[in-house]
Copies of this chain bind each other. A is one copy, B any other.
Amino acid sequence: MPLPKKTPNSPELNAKDRVYQQLRSWIITGTLAPKEKISDQAIAALFGVSRTPVREALQLLATQEFVEMIPRSATRVTAVATDRISTIYRPLAALQGLAAELAAETITTAEVEQLNVLNQRYEQAQQQNQPQAVLLADNAFHDYILKIAANPYVNEFSQLVDAHAQRIENFYLAQLNVQQPDAVREHNEIITAIAADDAVAARERMTQNWLRSMHLLQACVDRAN
């Protein structure tokens, strides 16, 4: 009997990807503060790898605007783009709108059911008033629509832009009012439109859902300044 290669479900990531994913997560959650300097030597030592995979991970993060590498100066975490909320949310709204449109064209009844389940969990998280859990549940809902849409470009761009959106949301997490019955209703309307194969309505409602989120966040940021 041949031994199973490694343990199943353990992606056994290489050094570069391990460093990349950890740093990315730290930046999004705010563990690594904006404008914080990143020493590749220190990171290398921390992960027990050499500077090469660290540098490769940093270059990838730089293309995604999570860090900025200033030639002959330093690499640091980028500032949270609190002054570019619409710059981030409008493409996000457009991409998610397309995702809803695509989902409406291919969705199955089982997937509709799953969307309802995810939206119920979202509603529960709101009622329990746990901001972090609300954001996670909202994310799970939208991620599942991306999965149904099954377009790698839409998926990838959406995930990237959303990561920047999440960075801002985490930054204002304390001031954020996550009790939004409107959002639950909007989600239901999105599900209804997608389930009815009404691509136009699905897109329209999804886009509006994101734009409303954008306005709420903008108001929160304005209040903080």
Binding site for B on A (CB under 8 A): 52, 56, 59-60, 63, 87-88, 90-91, 94-95, 97-98, 102, 151-154, 157, 161
Contacts and interface: CB of A to CB of B under 8 A. Distances in A.
A94 B92 CA distance: 11
A153 B102 contact: no
A152 B95 contact: no
28 contacts: A52-B52, A56-B56, A56-B59, A59-B59, A59-B60, A60-B63, A63-B63, A87-B151, A87-B152, A87-B153, A88-B153, A90-B98, A90-B102, A90-B151, A90-B154, A91-B95, A91-B98, A91-B151, A91-B153, A91-B154, A91-B157, A94-B94, A94-B95, A94-B97, A94-B98, A95-B95, A153-B161, A157-B157
Contacts of A152: 87
A152 B164 CA distance: 13
A153 B63 CA distance: 11
A90 B59 CA distance: 29
Q: How many copies does the complex hold?
A: 2
A94 to B, nearest CB: 4
A85 to B, nearest CB: 12
Contacts of A60: 59, 63
Contacts of A151: 87, 90-91
A102 B90 CA distance: 9
Q: Which 9 A-B pairs have the closest CB atoms?
A: A94-B98, A91-B153, A157-B157, A91-B154, A94-B94, A87-B151, A153-B161, A56-B59, A91-B98
Nearest to A59: B56
A91 B203 CA distance: 13
A88 B102 CA distance: 13
A153 B102 CA distance: 21
Contacts of A161: 153
Residue in A98, A153, A154 with the greatest tally of chain B CB atoms within 10 Å = A153
A91 B154 CA distance: 6
A88 to B, nearest CB: 7
A161 B98 CA distance: 15
A166 to B, nearest CB: 15
